[in-house]
């Protein structure tokens, strides 16, 4: 029997996209810089920091496309790593990167020809027009294109002889990984826009500590916490991939966590500005308490919702034990 791997082709797809996207970004920046400044030494000083920053900024895109491609390839039963399959994925990567390039080019053209006299370059609206809106459009078009590209060309892929089966061994792992992918895509996308604002406000002088190291540490810490809190909740076996449950759970959790933290932030802001005034000691205590409250409630919400969607009921457990 042929051994099938669920995530091997999506991983290859993302690696190809990751390097292609980063390469295009660096080349585009280098050409623009050289044609403007002709200072090669200073260019290297900027590029060696820009490269890891661009890789960091491509994480949300990679997470989205990894999840979309995994679901698309599963639905057309394509899991074999062959030259033909990889070639078709390479064409997908090229088209997706082209979409990204044209969306950014159109945004820049609109700004240069229409909005340049209306929006101050130092304003956050500059990032909205040149980064946030193009990124959201890219997420939409790249995700839809990747999914329908796989669906339309499904007969051209080298398919498996047998259908990929979700078993009691792999079902929970696959659902857990896809949940993490979509949950962290949504969770990281918004802070990535904030990073762009910080870099813009620093006039694109990227700091390893502020713009690269601290975000990576925050992402890794969040990933570790979510894994520890929710992993034991993914125990229910499904014979069909539950895409709707995965997406509903990831979206609902991010909305709840955002609202919760927004409310706590407003409370902290009111207390500091109106109740505590200049009392530094009490201000520090309030910030620590509200931060701890936010962390604990976020963990509880993650555990509660993942349990609701992916933890078996007592009836299911009894039936499962009886069956085996």
Q: Give the integer Cα–Cα distance in Å for 135 and 307.
A: 32
Predicted confidence at residue 322, as pLDDT, reads 36
Higher per-residue pLDDT: 287 or 248 = 248
> Which SS3 state, helix, strand or coil, does residue 307 take?
helix
Is residue 51 pLDDT above 70, yes or no? no
Is residue 216 pLDDT above 70, yes or no? yes
What number is the average pLDDT over the span 79-89?
Answer: 90
CB burial readout 19-56, b (16+ within 10 A) else e: ebbbebbeeebbeebeeeeeeeeebeebeebbbbbbbb
Predicted confidence at residue 320, as pLDDT, reads 39
Q: Determine the number of helices (DSSP H) and then strands (DSSP E) in the chain.
A: 11, 0
Confidence of residue 88 (pLDDT cuts 50, 70, 90): very high
Structure tokens at 207: 């700091």
Confidence of residue 23 (pLDDT cuts 50, 70, 90): confident
Structure tokens at 196: 């762009």
- Whether the Cβ atoms of residue 74 and residue 29 lie closer than 8 Å to each other: no
Q: Give the integer Cα–Cα distance in Å for 59 and 61.
A: 5
Per cent of the chain over pLDDT 70 is: 73
What number is the average pLDDT over the span 281-297?
Answer: 82
- Whether the Cβ atoms of residue 160 and residue 77 lie closer than 8 Å to each other: yes
HSE, side-chain direction, 13 A CA sphere, residue 142: 28
Q: Give the integer Cα–Cα distance in Å for 182 and 63.
A: 7
Predicted confidence at residue 169, as pLDDT, reads 81
Predicted confidence at residue 180, as pLDDT, reads 94
Q: Give the integer Cα–Cα distance in Å for 31 and 16.
A: 22
Read off the pLDDT of residues 225-248 as tens digits, 9 standing for 90 and up. 999 998 888 888 888 899 999 999
| Poorest-pLDDT segment among 75-89, 166-180, 190-204, 277-291 | 190-204
Using the structure block, give the residue that is written with the tokens 């061994």.
Answer: 169
* Mean pLDDT of all residues belonging to the chain: 80
Give which of 171, 148, 181, 177 is closest to 251, Cα–Cα.
181
What number is the average pLDDT over the span 71-91?
Answer: 91
Task: Find the farthest-apart pair of alpha carbons in the chain and give their distance in angstroms, rounded.
Answer: 75
What number is the average pLDDT over the span 43-72?
Answer: 79
Is residue 28 pLDDT above 90, yes or no? no
Confidence of residue 205 (pLDDT cuts 50, 70, 90): low
CA distances from 128 to 108, 123, 136, 297 (A): 12, 9, 10, 31
Predicted confidence at residue 93, as pLDDT, reads 93
Is residue 164 pLDDT above 60, yes or no? yes
| Poorest-pLDDT segment among 146-150, 207-211, 229-233, 290-294 | 207-211
Confidence of residue 317 (pLDDT cuts 50, 70, 90): very low
Predicted confidence at residue 321, as pLDDT, reads 39
Higher per-residue pLDDT: 176 or 126 = 176
Higher per-residue pLDDT: 285 or 293 = 293
- Whether the Cβ atoms of residue 268 and residue 290 lie closer than 8 Å to each other: yes
Is residue 109 pLDDT above 60, yes or no? yes
HSE, side-chain direction, 13 A CA sphere, residue 99: 20
């Amino acid at each position: 029997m042929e051994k099938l791997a669920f995530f091997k082709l999506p991983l290859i797809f993302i690696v190809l996209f990751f390097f292609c996207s980063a390469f295009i970004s660096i080349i585009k920046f280098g050409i623009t810089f050289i044609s403007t400044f002709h200072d090669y030494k200073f260019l290297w000083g900027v590029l060696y920091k820009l490269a890891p920053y661009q890789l960091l900024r491509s994480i949300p895109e990679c997470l989205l496309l990894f999840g979309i491609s995994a679901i698309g390839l599963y639905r057309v039963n394509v899991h074999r790593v062959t030259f033909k399959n990889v070639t078709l994925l390479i064409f997908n990567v090229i088209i997706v990167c082209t979409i990204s390039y044209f969306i950014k080019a159109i945004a820049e053209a609109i700004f240069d020809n229409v909005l340049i006299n209306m929006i101050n370059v130092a304003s956050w609206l500059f990032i909205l027009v040149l980064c946030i809106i193009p990124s959201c459009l890219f997420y939409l078009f790249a995700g839809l294109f990747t999914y329908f590209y796989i669906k339309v060309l499904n007969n051209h892929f080298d398919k498996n002889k047998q259908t990929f089966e979700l078993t009691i061994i792999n079902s929970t792992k696959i659902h857990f990984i896809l949940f993490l992918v979509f949950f962290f895509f949504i969770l990281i996308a918004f802070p990535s826009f904030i990073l762009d604002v910080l870099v813009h406000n620093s006039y694109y002088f990227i700091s390893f500590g502020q713009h690269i190291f601290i975000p990576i540490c925050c992402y890794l810490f969040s990933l570790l916490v979510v894994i520890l809190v929710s992993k034991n909740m993914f125990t229910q076996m499904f014979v069909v991939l539950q895409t709707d449950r995965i997406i509903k759970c990831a979206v609902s959790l991010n909305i709840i966590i955002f609202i919760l933290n927004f409310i706590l932030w407003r409370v902290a802001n009111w207390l500091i500005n109106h109740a505590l005034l200049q009392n530094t000691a009490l201000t520090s205590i309030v910030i620590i308490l509200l931060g701890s409250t936010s962390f604990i409630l976020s963990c509880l919400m993650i555990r509660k919702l993942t349990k609701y969607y992916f933890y078996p009921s007592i009836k299911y457990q009894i039936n499962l034990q009886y069956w085996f």
